[in-house]
Structure 1
Amino acid sequence: MINSLSDLLYSHILIVLLLGAGIFFTIKTKFVQIRMFIESLRVVAQPGSDKNGLSSFQALMVSTASRVGTGNIAGISTAICLGGSGAVFWMWLTALLGSASAFIESTLAQIYKHKAKDGSSYGGPAYYIQAALKRRWIGILFAVVLILTYMGGFNLVASFNIADSFRVYSFFNPKWTPIIVGAILAVVFALAIFGGSKKISQITEVLVPVMGIFYLAVSLFIILKHYQLVPAMFASIFNNAFDVQAIFGGFAGSCVMHGIKRGLFSNEAGVGSAPNAAASAAVSHPVKQGLVQMLSVFIDTMLICSATAFMLLCSGVEPTSKLAGMPWVQAAASNSLGNFGTIFITIALCLFAFTTLIGNFYYAEMGLKFLCGRKPPKALINTFRVIAAVIVLAGATMEFSIVWNTADVLMGLMALINLPVILILCKPAIQAMNDYTKQKKAGKDPVFKAADIQLKDKTDFWN
């Protein structure tokens, strides 16, 4: 049932909505993702405008920690093994168009963010739905789907991929190893989210950026080692991307659908997750954070996902449906680097996936806080955390296609709510972009006031 629902969503509904919204926002913003790319790099280096809030860079790291995970490694392998090398092109296109959607949703989150008692800010789609659409029930629906997607679907995938990465080792027992890995992971995850082990988060905050750079370096080394395969790799990507007969012969398994699925899973543009982090940034103008979140999509897909795709396609190991997910990544690394490659990929995935588990849970907790008026009872939060740990345990023991398709369906439902909402509400974000451009041309560091765009809705910050 889940697999059929996933095929229905991505074969008919989401492909039109995702690409349609991306094209619409790209045109409405006059290609903001290309036109203001250099500006986004400049903005991300600026310090926060308020000591109570996060800087743009910190908010970028929060959202990137959640984005960069199993989707960048196992997800790309899955897309190519099941959809062919052409899936990489459709993943790029999803990111390019999706970055305009990411700009709009994060700018809206900034415009409609709320002020906490300590002066910091919070917000996201549930809040801008409530403030601008005046429909709290849609905000509640979004918050519920957000919880199901991040605490449920995405954490099932992260946990499954960690357990799956041990399949290549001789000690792996399909009956017991996933349960043991899941149990250890659930305990460590519970320690982190119950606040009993802040050290874990502090260690991973340092290790993951280092591991990310090291991962890119290892990918580059494998690509350079097989440099003679690079021209054929690009030819394969573009030839397969436009193989019309193969695409429309069986669209449900085509490179288009797999590229869009894995591109969306990895960069989350338009899904409505990153705005939760974007709203917590202290910036002088909402557009600054829109530009920063737009940059996060490029980092995720154009940099890290592309590194994985190139490493796999240049490895000399042929993709098959049996190798989908972690097995192909480990085989590719092992073919170039021996045992070190297999072990390195396992460690990299475990670190990426663990920080993703924690980042996903904080998004889910934001959804819970919206439902409970910012103050959930302590007993409810503790129960919520226990359920989250049980889900992590369950994910390690589940079946490949059920785990991935459950996450895809839930993520698709989030996009089905958020994308129509930002299409309806995009006007203030586009007006804010024009205001930002006007101030930049006048040589100013842009400062936003709601009155400058004749915003009628009440805001906590911009009056």
Structure 2
Amino acid sequence: GVATAIAFGGPGAVFWMWVIALVGASSAFVESTLAQLVKVKGDKSFMGGPAYYIQKGLHCRWWAVTFAILITLTFGFAFNSVQSNTISSAFHSCFGFSVEWMAVILTAMTLVIIWGGVQRVSRFSEIVVPVMAVAYLVLAGVIISMNIQRIPEIFAMIFSNAFGFDSALGGTVGSAMVMGVKRGLFSNEAGEGSTPNAAATASVTHPVKQGLIQTLGVYTDTLLVCTATAFIILCSGVFVDGHDGIVLTQRAIDAELGGGHQYGSIFVCVAIFFFAFTSIIANYYYGETNIRFILNNERVISVYRLAVGAIVYFGSITSLDIVWGFADITMALMTLCNLAAIVALGKYALMLLADYRSQLMKGIDPVYSSDTIPSIADETECWR
């Protein structure tokens, strides 16, 4: 996301990504706290998310169904096309691998896993993805340390371009802001309504605990990981060479490591495969959960799985601007739908936060029970 933001919006887009993270952290807290409050018991774990808190908190079935459809389109289809495009572009750039063959491989892997192997991928990703993330941050730290004297220059570049003082670097104030906001939302997902689906599955003693965890996740994702990537790209200077997406990040790391080697590019290629492919599976899960909210029918789920496979193939072979265009439209509609809901239901999150703080001040490890907020006690079955 950050590479595309810089390529099309200029260095100033990074500033607006920071802004959306700071603003979005509060919405991430509210939506995840609400998801915990009204979660329901599933076959193997808890379930929840915006569709559930819209129906239970606002008693509006059509609104809940609308959100469920939008998140399925956004994550099951749009975002999965972005992820498959990222993987195929990375392998084509690094190894010259045919995007058509990569499309076939990714589609086959996706269909095999979503038809029976999701749990195995989940266990595998719990080990591999954190290791790759730490390794990437170490690599970023090394590159930034090599350019430590340029840090003030990079900050000046970001701020001056963000407010239009240096348009020669690419982008305008408008494009920097728009790209920063769009890619910031894609990066941390704050306010979109996606993370509450995962937040609802957690077992905690108080809904606010999960809300605070999701808030920290927004800061970690955008202010740490995306900023590290942005600094690598801006230090390298390759963002003015016409590259975009994951290829830009690969070129930037290779340029910084020097020596004509592609070790950094190969590492990014491998890392992005694990990150993006596990995201494809997670995105599929968001869609399935919300389809089951609307209609728990196995034939419908089978059709959805085939459609996900088709979109993974399509995303792998099409252009980056097409998949991002699709994603931006559905993401905007889904986010607006969810933001309206959390504004209407935000009072419950504030009540929960007050209860959490009150217990902390008494030296108690906060525990919530459904009778704490009587007005919604009937809808908080998991907290009785």
TM > 0.5: yes
Aligned mate of 2:368, from 429, 434, 448:
448
Distance 1:266 1:406 in 2: 16
User: How do 1:361-440 residues align onto structure 2 when only pairs under 5 Å count?
Assistant: 361-372=284-295, 375-377=296-298, 379-440=299-360
Partner residue, 2:221:
300
- In the alignment, structure 1 residue 162 sits paired with structure 2 residue 87: yes
Distance 2:60 2:50 in 1: 12
Q: Deviations over 1:198-225 (max 9, x none)?
A: 5444333321111100011111111112
Give the 3 Å change call, closer, same or farther, for CA 357–192 of structure 1 in structure 2.
Answer: same
Q: Deviations over 1:310-343 (max 9, x none)?
A: 111122x331372111222111111123210111
Partner residue, 1:122:
47
Q: Deviations over 1:167-194 (max 9, x none)?
A: 434735xxxx111111101111112111
Partner residue, 2:381:
460
Partner residue, 1:282:
203
Q: Deviations over 1:82-124 (max 9, x none)?
A: 1111111110110011000000011111111112356x42111
**RMSD, aligned CA:** 2.1
Distance 1:241 1:457 in 2: 47
Q: Is the 8 A contact 1:251 1:257 kept in 2?
A: no
Give the 3 Å change call, closer, same or farther, for CA 294–182 of structure 1 in structure 2.
Answer: same
Letter in 2 for 1:261: K
- In the alignment, structure 1 residue 96 sits paired with structure 2 residue 17: no
Q: Deviations over 1:366-406 (max 9, x none)?
A: 1111011xx322x3322221211111011011112111121
Give the 3 Å change call, closer, same or farther, for CA 197–112 of structure 1 in structure 2.
Answer: closer
Partner residue, 1:342:
265
User: How do 1:148-187 residues align onto structure 2 when only pairs under 5 Å count?
Assistant: 148-169=73-94, 171-172=96-97, 177-187=98-108
Partner residue, 1:34:
none
Partner residue, 1:195:
116
Distance 1:297 1:217 in 2: 20
Give the 3 Å change call, closer, same or farther, for CA 387–443 of structure 1 in structure 2.
Answer: same
Give the 3 Å change call, closer, same or farther, for CA 279–200 of structure 1 in structure 2.
Answer: closer
Partner residue, 2:65:
140
Partner of 1:305, secondary structure, is helix
Partner residue, 2:279:
356
Q: Is the 8 A contact 2:164 2:172 kept in 1?
A: no
Give the 3 Å change call, closer, same or farther, for CA 399–432 of structure 1 in structure 2.
Answer: same
Partner residue, 1:241:
162
Partner of 1:455, secondary structure, is helix
Partner of 2:382, secondary structure, is coil
Q: Is the 8 A contact 2:206 2:367 kept in 1?
A: yes
Distance 2:124 2:43 in 1: 30
Gaps of 5+ in 1: 1-74
Q: Deviations over 1:115-169 (max 9, x none)?
A: 2356x42111001110111110111110011110011110000001111113434
Partner residue, 1:332:
252
Letter in 2 for 1:209: P
Partner residue, 1:56:
none
- In the alignment, structure 1 residue 256 sits paired with structure 2 residue 177: yes
Partner residue, 2:186:
265
Identity in percent: 44
Q: Deviations over 1:12-56 (max 9, x none)?
A: xxxxxxxxxxxxxxxxxxxxxxxxxxxxxxxxxxxxxxxxxxxxx
Q: Is the 8 A contact 2:164 2:173 kept in 1?
A: no
Distance 2:173 2:317 in 1: 26
Give the 3 Å change call, closer, same or farther, for CA 312–128 of structure 1 in structure 2.
Answer: same
Partner of 2:375, secondary structure, is coil
Give the 3 Å change call, closer, same or farther, for CA 252–86 of structure 1 in structure 2.
Answer: closer
Q: Is the 8 A contact 2:70 2:333 kept in 1?
A: yes
- List 4+ stretches of structure 1 deviating above 6 A: none
Name which of structure 1's ranges 192-201 and 207-216 shifts more when overlaid on structure 2: 192-201
Q: Deviations over 1:234-271 (max 9, x none)?
A: 1111222222796xxx8795211111111001000000
Distance 1:229 1:184 in 2: 42
Distance 1:201 1:189 in 2: 13
TM-score (structure 1 length as normaliser): 0.78
Partner of 2:238, secondary structure, is coil
TM-score (structure 2 length as normaliser): 0.93
Letter in 1 for 2:83: A
Gaps of 5+ in 2: none
Q: Is the 8 A contact 2:92 2:99 kept in 1?
A: no
Letter in 1 for 2:181: I
Distance 2:132 2:95 in 1: 25
Letter in 2 for 1:325: G
